[in-house]
Structure 1
Amino acid sequence: MTHSALLVMDVQKAITDRVPGLASDYTPRLARAVSAARSAGMPVVYVVIGFRPGHPETKSSPAFSALPEGAFTDSDPGAAIHPDVAPRPGESIVTKKRVSAFTGSDLDLVLRGAAIDHLILTGLATSGVVLSTLRQAADLDYRLTVLADGCGDADPEVHQVLTEKVFPRQADVTTVDAWISDLT
């Protein structure tokens, strides 16, 4: 029997505010997916990027070492999950230290502990956390679904290539509305 979880990844204020061209309907659409998962009794797992003050975890990372002091720490308001999709008490929030939701986090332990074997992926950016997580999750033998319009990227062409040509090799790719229809 398949046990699924909806992953909402990197949908943090500092990220949603920085993705140019992110439609104003993105977070409300993602909120519909979150609501549908909850209604179906499916766990919603939030994945966020987060660092300690002083960013000791980023010193060896070319990608993250350039972050401004204080970015994505507990005191950074931009590190908060977007209020449209905010977690409810008791929902898991997993903090990662690199691009993939699995790297530097306890995500696999959280999922395996709940007997989850199917992940529904959403998040920002398609070419970042979604791609990296999809690849690692496939190697960890999770069944995968990507909600294409539950993801977004600064480059719409890259988003399109990934969701239409790359992701279908390892995941089912659908839309939020089609996925919600299949849940009911």
Structure 2
Amino acid sequence: MNKPALLVMDMQNGIVSRFQDNQEMLRAVQKSVETARRHNIPVIFVRVTFSEGYPEVSPRNKAFSQIRQMGGMTVSDDATQIHESVQPHNGEPVVTKYRVSAFAGSTLEVILRSKQIDTLILTGIATSGVVLSTLREAADKDFVIQVLSDACADPDAEVHRVLTEKVFPRQADVLTVDDWIENLDSSRAQETD
């Protein structure tokens, strides 16, 4: 029997603010969090942030060296706090990462192993960033993976489509939040029969 956890990735103020127009995606993430809690599936939040002075940022890192130059995205910065639409409850971990993948420089794998999690349900922003990188690394680590396609978003809708329809299915089950909920409910009904 699989032991799942829902990863809510990069749903932090500075990133969600760029996707405020995508209310359907925000509602899908909220619905996935509420469903996971109702089904006693651990919810783990992942955010990207840096220490003051940016000691984690290499000048060779094209994306993150720009953040270093512009400032912000530090641990105490409002941009790195989990968005109000999906606030963690007491006891739900908030994992800090220093690169794109949820595993990179974080305690995520330690938390998953300590809870004996073997199945990851992925949500977050961006599909071509944290979702893709985390999926690839999780597959290499032999996790069972599900991607909730409507609870992910990307600045480029075509990139999101290609990833969720053509790339991700090679290593993960890709389904909507409603389909995932239906699967959970039918599994629960079978257990009680």
- The two structures have a TM-score, normalised by structure 2, of 0.91
Pairing 1:23–2:29 present: no
Kindly provide the amino acid, as one letter, of the partner of residue 145 in structure 2: L
- Greater shift after overlay, 159-168 or 60-69? 60-69
Bigger Rg, which one: 2
Deviations 1:121-163 (A, max 9, x none): 0000000000000000000000000000010000000000000
- The two structures have a TM-score, normalised by structure 1, of 0.95
- Runs of at least 5 residues in structure 1 that lack an aligned partner in the other structure: none
After superposing on structure 2, the runs of 4+ consecutive aligned residues of structure 1 that deviate more than 2 Å are: none
Identity of aligned residues (%): 52
Please state how far the C-alpha of 1:16 moved relative to its aligned partner: 1.1
Q: How many angstroms apart in 2 are the aligned matches of 1:88 and 1:65?
A: 33
Kindly provide the amino acid, as one letter, of the partner of residue 170 in structure 2: R
Pairing 1:71–2:72 present: yes
Alignment of 1:1-184 (within 5 A): 1-19=1-19, 22-60=21-59, 61-67=61-67, 68-184=69-185
What SS class does the counterpart of residue 132 from structure 1 fall into?
Answer: helix
Please state how far the C-alpha of 1:70 moved relative to its aligned partner: 4.1
Please state how far the C-alpha of 1:22 moved relative to its aligned partner: 4.5
Deviations 1:99-138 (A, max 9, x none): 0000111111110110000000000000000000000000
Q: Is the 8 A contact 1:51 1:57 kept in 2?
A: yes
Kindly provide the amino acid, as one letter, of the partner of residue 75 in structure 1: S
What SS class does the counterpart of residue 161 from structure 2 fall into?
Answer: helix
Kindly provide the amino acid, as one letter, of the partner of residue 34 in structure 1: V
Aligned residues: 183
- Greater shift after overlay, 97-106 or 22-31? 22-31
Higher share of residues assigned helix? 2
Kindly provide the amino acid, as one letter, of the partner of residue 78 in structure 2: P
Q: CA RMSD in A?
A: 1.3
- Runs of at least 5 residues in structure 2 that lack an aligned partner in the other structure: 186-193
Q: How many angstroms apart in 1 are the aligned matches of 2:171 and 2:76?
A: 37
